[in-house]
Structure 1
Amino acid sequence: MGSMRATDTDRIPPHPEVAAVTLQQVLDALVDPVRRSIVTQLADATADIRCGDFDLPVSKSTATHHFRILREAGLIRQHYAGTSRMNTLRRSEVDAVFPGLLDALVNADRAAAVSR
């Protein structure tokens, strides 16, 4: 018997269609400041970000929970590059369903960071 190896596509977690996500799900995901920070960091990024490269004030297991909530709300897409789980903001998809929401969130998050 040969050994079974998971391919990168086998390891990709499920992602909902953004059009099937409710506004309530999105708002519930964004109520947490850590998740808003993840979204803002992705909005500012010029490339996908590895899970471990985010500036977050939480443990790795807690960060994993936050990434799952954002993914299940249709806000981020995750994929593997080698052994690293990469994250992408689903900006165009979210903007198509909830126009202006991400811009408002990111601008508010940046303003709050400046006033701290």
Structure 2
Amino acid sequence: MRRAHHPATEDVALTEVMAALSDPVRIGLLRVLADGGERGWGELRAPVAKSTLSHHLRVLRDAGVTRTRQEGTRCYVRLRRADLEARFPGLISAVLAAADADEVGSGVGLAAEAS
């Protein structure tokens, strides 16, 4: 896997973040990652094919919403909450509150929750 590109905090654009958060699966991923933990890609479950899940994770990373770390053949992802809060104060909290209220992305979770 080639090294993932992560935009610097000052280069994260509001339009790109909003576009990345315009999909229910990506909102679901945001909700899963909102606890601040780092998750292995294999832990994430969504009602889409693995290749589509990979696409959604790339969109979030390219927009500056998440940071991906590779360790050998495994990839881990976490929410860049502090960076997003510094750039767009209150945005992520507002999106998460609205998503929780409307249950947007509720089909996305962790493998451990599926049991």
Percent identity reads 41
Number of the residue aligned with 1:39? 30
Taking structure 2 as the reference length, the TM-score comes to: 0.83
Taking structure 1 as the reference length, the TM-score comes to: 0.82
Larger Rg: 1
Number of the residue aligned with 1:106? 96
Q: Deviations over 1:60-93 (max 9, x none)?
A: 1001110110001000000023322000100000
For residues 111 and 12 of structure 1, the distance between their equivalents in structure 2, rounded to whole angstroms, comes to 36
**Runs of 5+ consecutive residues of structure 1 not aligned to the other structure:** 1-9
**Runs of 5+ consecutive residues of structure 2 not aligned to the other structure:** 107-115
Q: How many residues align?
A: 105
Number of the residue aligned with 1:3? none
Residue 8 (structure 2) pairs with residue 17 (structure 1)? yes
- For 1:77, what is the secondary structure of its paired residue? strand
Misfit runs of 4+, over 2 Å: none
Aligned-pair RMSD on alpha carbons?
A: 1.8
Report which structure shows greater RCO (CA 8 Å, sep ≥6): 2
- Following superposition, the deviation at residue 11 of structure 1 comes to 4.4
Q: Deviations over 1:21-73 (max 9, x none)?
A: 2211110000001011111100035x210112113111110011101100010
- For 1:44, what is the secondary structure of its paired residue? coil
- Equivalences for 1:8-87 in 2 at 5 Å? 11-45=2-36, 47-87=37-77
